[in-house]
Homo-oligomer: A and B are copies of this chain.
Amino acid sequence: MTRRPRLGEIGLNTGKKARLHRILHTYGLGNGTALFLPYDQGLEHGPRDFFANPAASDPAYIVKLAVEGGFNGVALQIGLAEKFFWDYAGEVPLILKLNGKTDIPSDARPLSPLHATVADAVRLGADAVGYTMYVGSPAQEEDFAQFRVVREEAHRLGMPLIVWAYPRGEAVETKGGKDSFYAVDYAARTASEVGADVVKVNFPQPDKRSGVPGGYAAEFTPQQAVDAVVRSANRTLVLISGGEKADDQAMLEKAREAMEAGTTGLIFGRNVWQRDHDDSLRLVSRLKEILAKYPND
């Protein structure tokens, strides 16, 4: 098992440390782990994601759920943060998602444009910002250029920077696909190299081997793969993304393996809110039971 990095040893400046400490030790379980509720799917996929549970279409419902469930943070785009975070401001940390896109046009060379700045996050009382980086996209030049400005502003304002590190684009498709161990491993490393404080990745799938470079074509267990991803992220805290709604038992097992590997926490959206209210809270309880087993300083 890879050791989970401590806040004191990962090179954070004062403001970043203060805010991350608040997220990890004041909210949620308060044991140094994290469970986040992402809610940017209305922009990323459109309202169709709410068909499974129409109540979830209402951002007020989601922010309340984040409070009820004792999440360590809720991630919103600027428009919803402006209109809905006020209701519960202070009761749950806000992660202002800075960029996003619709999934209507072609995804061959994806890039996620900015909608807000780190200064907006400060103004709204957010405790972190989120940035989607499409690792391996043919548009990586624009992506890195855009990210650099965000990184600098986040450093200047002491705002923790969470990178949604998503392998994506036509080149990724030919090299194992977006969930392959190769792609997720490279994505985690990239986020660390370019300056993320926290990186959000999908659980790596070592059986996706078609087109992956040398070493990745060997046999790996899921545990070995997620261990390696956490190592590649080194002193960048890792969050495992829930992705599309999946079978509960399998999902919980992944969560456990991820925590075992040394991730700091989980960021689960559709798996949480694409079910009815009480069922959502029940799942949250089970996820927290796992997190409770992996306390960190």
Q: State the A residues within 8 Å of B (CB).
A: 10-11, 40, 42-43, 46-48, 51, 54, 57-60, 77-80, 82-84, 86, 100-102, 104-106, 111, 113-117, 120, 135-138, 140-142, 144-145, 147-148, 151-152, 167, 169, 171-172, 175, 182, 185-186, 189-196, 213-216, 228, 231-232, 234-236
Contact = CB atoms under 8 A, between A and B. Distances in A.
Contacts of A194: 43, 77-79, 100, 115
A30 to B, nearest CB: 25
Number of this chain's copies in the assembly equals 5
16 contacts: A11-B84, A46-B182, A46-B189, A47-B189, A58-B231, A78-B195, A79-B192, A79-B194, A102-B190, A104-B167, A104-B169, A104-B172, A106-B138, A113-B145, A114-B148, A116-B148
A135 B82 CA distance: 21
A186 B115 contact: no
Nearest to A59: B234
Nearest to A116: B148
Nearest to A192: B79
Given A42-B192, A104-B169, A141-B142, 13 more contacts: A11-B82, A42-B189, A48-B215, A51-B214, A51-B215, A59-B234, A78-B195, A79-B236, A104-B135, A104-B172, A105-B138, A115-B148, A120-B152
A123 to B, nearest CB: 9
B46 A185 contact: yes
